[in-house]
Copies of this chain bind each other. A is one copy, B any other.
């Protein structure tokens, strides 16, 4: 591929550094109309749709979920510079490269054999909603900057909130309100900054160093990261220890003790991040009790996922791109008092056209609800998903995964060599090979299970799972959640685990006395 010659710069260096600006005056006027030519779009668009459909229909099943590649494998294959001019039929050539160079090196999150992490659920409508959004390409940062996009967002967060049985106080229809952000990390950061500003207004704006945030040792690290970004001192993040006997749930008594100790030390409890369905083991924090403890200290309570006691929280977020068929990215955040969010994230200095409409009560300028100004029209996708599958359709989708996870769990329980390490509450099964008695010790068991996971994932044609280390126990995680996963994939996955375990135990000369439970 040709190296850029930079011939447009007379002396080889950028004039004023603005290298994209014209230097020569005799340039032939370019024909830019092809850049968004409807007929070219139609032709290439149909190609892309067929490409994706073929990926779902056949390619996805053929690739290992996780590629066997080494770092640098792709960087070495690609030229060091962008082409100065496109090659002939560049789009066709690029699609071929996607197929031949890129797809074989991806981890296929949509594979029916992807059981790692948590799913990134896809659907026909979710994917096409993204395509439509990208095609229309509006930027609804204020109501005026795209009224219908803003209003659809207001409608759809209320729709989703009602489907999740959130209290009306978190919805527009009840005086609260919601927005669609990219990720949980953003949602927590926004809620945290709003809470921080409210607290600092109470205790003095210079006391940021005294603010303390609370979570459990199971809380997703997105929370600690958000707290750090928001300027909370790393020493002021209390990770309250959980234990296996409590199913790794955050203890209200421990939270109370921690908050009281901080108050006694002259510090200010700021924020509690509780979770229903933690990342490692889907532990469920007791929301109602925790909220009561936090309320006594005037701390903001943010929850992730759907829970009993949600009436008491200040904010709530859930990822529609995780289980609700809205392809990446789409995280809904609801707050009881939008004005606190706006106070923290508003932008004083405006360059935009002030619309008279902006004075009205029905107007939301979503740029003041998030970190970012430029934002995508995510509501279109979520609206299409809710419209085309219905609330019952989403429920059926989630239930099918719960059923498959229950099925996997019962297969694990039926094999005496294995144990389910944490009772399955959602669609994540945490399990491991039991610690062999004659070898003893968790360390040995951990090593054994680490090897097991490695062997399982190395099969290529088998499942791809991840792991967790909780309370000193290493466990395998089988998270059922890919849209294409069916009962047969779960059964096959378990078969591969059993086969690899048998082979590993044989190699290591370990014998269990196999007794079905």
- Are A374 and B155 in contact, CB atoms less than 8 angstroms apart? no
Q: How far is the CB of A116 from chain B (nearest CB, A)?
A: 7
| Residue of B whose beta carbon sits closest to that of A384 | B94
Query: With the chains together, A186 CA to B371 CA distance in Å?
Result: 7
Tell me if A513 is interfacial: C-beta within 8 Å of chain B. no
- Are A91 and B310 in contact, CB atoms less than 8 angstroms apart? no
- Which of these, B151, B230, B327, B348, contacts A229 with CB under 8 Å? B230
Tell me if A293 is interfacial: C-beta within 8 Å of chain B. no
Query: With the chains together, A38 CA to B225 CA distance in Å?
Result: 39
- Are A53 and B39 in contact, CB atoms less than 8 angstroms apart? yes
| Residue of B whose beta carbon sits closest to that of A353 | B466
Tell me if A243 is interfacial: C-beta within 8 Å of chain B. no
- Which of these, B34, B124, B162, B363, contacts A82 with CB under 8 Å? B162
Please choose the segment from A64-72, A411-419, A440-448, A500-508 that sits at the chain B interface, where 4 or more of its residues have CB less than 8 A away.
A64-72
Tell me if A489 is interfacial: C-beta within 8 Å of chain B. no
Q: How far is the CB of A318 from chain B (nearest CB, A)?
A: 10
A32 and B400 in contact, given A55-B136, A105-B147 (Cβ under 8 angstroms) = yes
- Are A328 and B374 in contact, CB atoms less than 8 angstroms apart? yes
- Are A74 and B151 in contact, CB atoms less than 8 angstroms apart? yes
- Which of these, B319, B380, B453, B486, contacts A353 with CB under 8 Å? B453
Tell me if A467 is interfacial: C-beta within 8 Å of chain B. yes
Known: A35-B389, A49-B131. 15 other contacts (CB 8 A): A4-B391, A20-B164, A20-B323, A27-B396, A27-B399, A38-B56, A45-B124, A71-B143, A82-B391, A90-B390, A110-B138, A128-B131, A185-B374, A208-B233, A209-B209
Tell me if A10 is interfacial: C-beta within 8 Å of chain B. no
- Are A399 and B22 in contact, CB atoms less than 8 angstroms apart? yes
- Which of these, B33, B128, B134, B486, contacts A486 with CB under 8 Å? B33
Please choose the segment from A11-19, A294-302, A490-498 that sits at the chain B interface, where 4 or more of its residues have CB less than 8 A away.
A11-19
- Are A189 and B371 in contact, CB atoms less than 8 angstroms apart? yes
Query: With the chains together, A123 CA to B91 CA distance in Å?
Result: 13
> For window 19-54 of chain A, which residues contact chain B by CB distance below 8 Å?
19-22, 27, 29-30, 32-42, 44-46, 48-54
Query: With the chains together, A143 CA to B20 CA distance in Å?
Result: 32
Tell me if A126 is interfacial: C-beta within 8 Å of chain B. yes
Q: How far is the CB of A369 from chain B (nearest CB, A)?
A: 12
Tell me if A387 is interfacial: C-beta within 8 Å of chain B. yes
| Residue of B whose beta carbon sits closest to that of A149 | B106
- Are A374 and B32 in contact, CB atoms less than 8 angstroms apart? no
Measured between beta carbons, the chain B residues less than 8 angstroms from A147 are: 67, 69, 71, 73-74, 105-107
A–B Cβ pairs within 8 angstroms, 24 of them? A16-B308, A17-B165, A17-B308, A20-B323, A21-B426, A32-B400, A32-B483, A35-B483, A37-B124, A45-B52, A48-B49, A48-B132, A69-B147, A75-B155, A80-B162, A106-B136, A106-B148, A116-B353, A130-B134, A139-B328, A196-B231, A205-B233, A222-B347, A353-B467
| Residue of B whose beta carbon sits closest to that of A7 | B392
Tell me if A268 is interfacial: C-beta within 8 Å of chain B. no
Number of copies: 2
> For window 161-195 of chain A, which residues contact chain B by CB distance below 8 Å?
162-165, 173, 182-186, 189, 193
Measured between beta carbons, the chain B residues less than 8 angstroms from A84 are: 390-392
- Are A397 and B107 in contact, CB atoms less than 8 angstroms apart? no
- Are A71 and B363 in contact, CB atoms less than 8 angstroms apart? yes
Tell me if A266 is interfacial: C-beta within 8 Å of chain B. no
Tell me if A386 is interfacial: C-beta within 8 Å of chain B. yes
Measured between beta carbons, the chain B residues less than 8 angstroms from A391 are: 4, 82-85
Q: How far is the CB of A30 from chain B (nearest CB, A)?
A: 3
Tell me if A292 is interfacial: C-beta within 8 Å of chain B. no
- Are A185 and B373 in contact, CB atoms less than 8 angstroms apart? yes
- Which of these, B35, B125, B143, contacts A397 with CB under 8 Å? B35
- Are A46 and B49 in contact, CB atoms less than 8 angstroms apart? yes
